[in-house]
A and B are shown apart, each in its own frame.
Chain A
Amino acid sequence: MAIQVSGITKRFNDFTALDSVDLEVRSGELLALLGPSGSGKTTLLRIMAGLESPDAGGLLLNGEEALGLKPRDRQVGFVFQHYALFRHMSVFENVAFGLKVRPRGQRPSSAEIRRRVAELLELVQLSPFAGRYPAQLSGGQRQRVALARALAIEPKVLLLDEPFGALDAKVRKELRRWLRKLHDDIHITSVFVTHDQEEALELADRVVVMNQGRIEQIGTPAEVYDHPASAFVYEFLGQVNRLDCTVEGGIAHVGGGALAIATDGGVQGPAVAYVRPHDLGVTPAAGGPARISGIHVVGPDARIDIDLAGLALEAEMDRERLATLGIVAGDRCSVHIDRARVFAR
């Protein structure tokens, strides 16, 4: 099912959580809403679920106006950030809840409910835990119960609020892969909220980068990472060197002329150039303008601190390349920029 958000605006007192947001979620895709806290991503998700109502704007679920509908009539599955499992119900009862509360006419028989719940617990690999209570489960298991519970009502859309936020790093990674695989299997239109760029880039078909109630960019993970549409996206996604510069005739001059970067035009005057550490090349040169001020080896990669006429830069390369270059801290070198983006200041 597709979701269409048009001109949604939401204010909490003086704070604007969402400022006229337009977004289309395509049927069957896994979409990430990525942004720092306060960017409005959770509010947008809650509006889709019907847990909040916007001050203005429209929402279409599968082409039908949905703002007037109560949450129960929207056929959405919602996974809460802290799971919101019913603490006094067992895993089985939690998953069965959405079926048991249906009006008498639409309620499946109890045998049917048992079968469906067993199926779902099988899907989330929790069959042996049906009789346990939420307090007796690990974080990752609770997360999967929450997912099974949301899927039990056969929703048309799955909405997940920071689904891995409360888990430790290792479990988070495992669950991420597992959720991607699950989505590939059942292909339900899914939207998840995260502040973790790695999570968004690894998991999603498309990423929506949000900031201060607005959408900064929408694109595939490769698009948003390789071609950030704004300075914000550049700074928010991955490590980046931020260099003040002046653009004259398509050339950006950094650090009083120590470095020149070709731009794709359009910008004139004071500007900021963004350079990814791995787009910054280092060549040893005895009389070079720059100096290696430090080298930090982190696992397979090396981070190199460079001092270019008082300007601190960071470059990144694998250890093999570092060994080939044979540079050590204190060496002089020259730097060149493979790729950069320049935004007017």
Chain B
Amino acid sequence: MVAAGSGAVAAGRESAVTVRASLPLFRKPSVLPGFGLTLGFTLSYLGFIVLLPLAALILKSSGLGWSGFWAAVTTPRVLAAFQVSFGLSLAAALTNAIFGFLVAWVLVRYDFPGKRLVDALVDLPFALPTAVAGIALSALYAPNGWIGRPLDELFGLKVAFTPLGIAIALTFIGLPFVVRTVQPILQDLPPEEEEAAASLGASRLQAFSGIILPAILPALVTGFALSFARGVGEYGSVIFIAGNMPGLTEILPLLIVIKLEQYDYAGAAAVGTAMLGVSFVMLLILNLLQQWMRSRHAR
């Protein structure tokens, strides 16, 4: 591709332009310089940093052969980790879909003191290093922590070192995804549709479920999917609060780390590949679902 690019650039400099017509038109000619240079650098950098290493992952796990790969990713411990990672990410993403929507709604529709500060705070999980979030949540929800102690004493509820703790960490990590995808859509919602509904005698609740919710549902699903995908891969904020008991609170990324520490490179690669594969398929399904919803709402 790089070669074709510089070829087109060279042809562009000549005035004998008939040459170019016979070349496959790789790019639309432009008077701006630097195409070959920047595309060449972009592709080399992308290839070296991203594509080559990811290819190594696939290569390593394919070294096991299909049956070896299958055996590596279907051991009870791996299956349990799949269940923990995907199940709890799903729970956290659902929580975020509800509360993230609430936060976006309040930020867009209502005025209250300190609103801008609250709005800025929503991005905290993006900015706060995951390890910091991990130890902070762990300290809060530990049996002697600020929240963990009252929960334990009043309700006998243990959070840290249980699946509930993992769900809480994943909720923390995923919240901004929902807020930041729903917020702009809610902001741009034309008020006329709601006013029309009100003038036709619909109650607020009817206007909400009939007008607002269908309009923002695609964005909500996107936010949900982003939150979910982030949860499946999350490592730093989870491992401190999880307790990391195999089969119960052991997440997939941790399992990969453990396999690496045991020098089981092929096993680690197999789990990693499977994880990428499953995430990819789920995101694909959600994408299709979203497209379907969008086309329905557009009609």
B296 within 8 A of A: no
Query: In the complex, which residues 2-54 of chain B have their Cβ closer than 8 Å to any Cβ of chain A?
Result: 12-15, 17-18, 20-21, 25, 28-29, 31
With a cutoff of 8 Å between Cβ atoms, the chain B residues found around residue A52 in the complex are: 29, 31
Instruction: Give the size of the chain A interface in residues (CB under 8 angstroms).
Output: 15
Contact A71 B18, beta carbon cutoff 8 Å: no
A67 within 8 A of B: yes
A68 within 8 A of B: yes
A13 within 8 A of B: yes
A55 within 8 A of B: yes
Contact A67 B17, beta carbon cutoff 8 Å: yes
A55-B17 Cα distance, complex, nearest whole Å = 5
With a cutoff of 8 Å between Cβ atoms, the chain A residues found around residue B13 in the complex are: 68
Contact A68 B15, beta carbon cutoff 8 Å: yes
With a cutoff of 8 Å between Cβ atoms, the chain B residues found around residue A137 in the complex are: none
Interface of chain B, main secondary structure:
loop
Contact B17 A56, beta carbon cutoff 8 Å: yes
Contact B29 A53, beta carbon cutoff 8 Å: yes
Taking a contact as CB atoms closer than 8 A, the residue among B14, B21, B31 that contacts A51 in the complex is B31
With a cutoff of 8 Å between Cβ atoms, the chain B residues found around residue A53 in the complex are: 12, 15, 17, 29
A310-B20 Cα distance, complex, nearest whole Å = 56
Contact B15 A71, beta carbon cutoff 8 Å: no
A52-B17 Cα distance, complex, nearest whole Å = 11
Taking a contact as CB atoms closer than 8 A, the residue among B20, B21, B29, B31 that contacts A71 in the complex is B31
Residue of B nearest to A65 (CB): B15
Query: In the complex, which residues 199-255 of chain B have their Cβ closer than 8 Å to any Cβ of chain A?
Result: none
Taking a contact as CB atoms closer than 8 A, the residue among B14, B20, B25 that contacts A68 in the complex is B14
A50 within 8 A of B: yes
Contact A55 B18, beta carbon cutoff 8 Å: yes
| Shortest Cβ distance from residue B251 to the other chain A in the assembled complex, whole angstroms | 48
A213 within 8 A of B: no
A52-B21 Cα distance, complex, nearest whole Å = 14
Contact B20 A50, beta carbon cutoff 8 Å: no
A35 within 8 A of B: no
| Shortest Cβ distance from residue B47 to the other chain A in the assembled complex, whole angstroms | 29
| Shortest Cβ distance from residue A254 to the other chain B in the assembled complex, whole angstroms | 47
| Shortest Cβ distance from residue A151 to the other chain B in the assembled complex, whole angstroms | 21
With a cutoff of 8 Å between Cβ atoms, the chain A residues found around residue B20 in the complex are: 55
User: Which one of A11, A53, A54, A56 has the highest number of Cβ atoms from chain B below 10 Å of its Cβ?
Assistant: A53
Q: A12-B28, A50-B31 are in contact. Are A55 and B21 (CB under 8 A)?
A: yes
Q: Tell me the A residues contacting B by CB distance below 8 Å.
A: 11-13, 50-56, 65, 67-68, 70-71
Q: Tell me the B residues contacting A by CB distance below 8 Å.
A: 12-15, 17-18, 20-21, 25, 28-29, 31
10 closest residue pairs by CB, A with B: A68-B15, A67-B15, A51-B31, A55-B21, A53-B17, A55-B17, A56-B18, A53-B29, A71-B31, A54-B17
7 sampled A-B residue pairs with Cβ under 8 A:
A11-B21, A51-B31, A52-B31, A53-B12, A53-B29, A55-B20, A68-B13
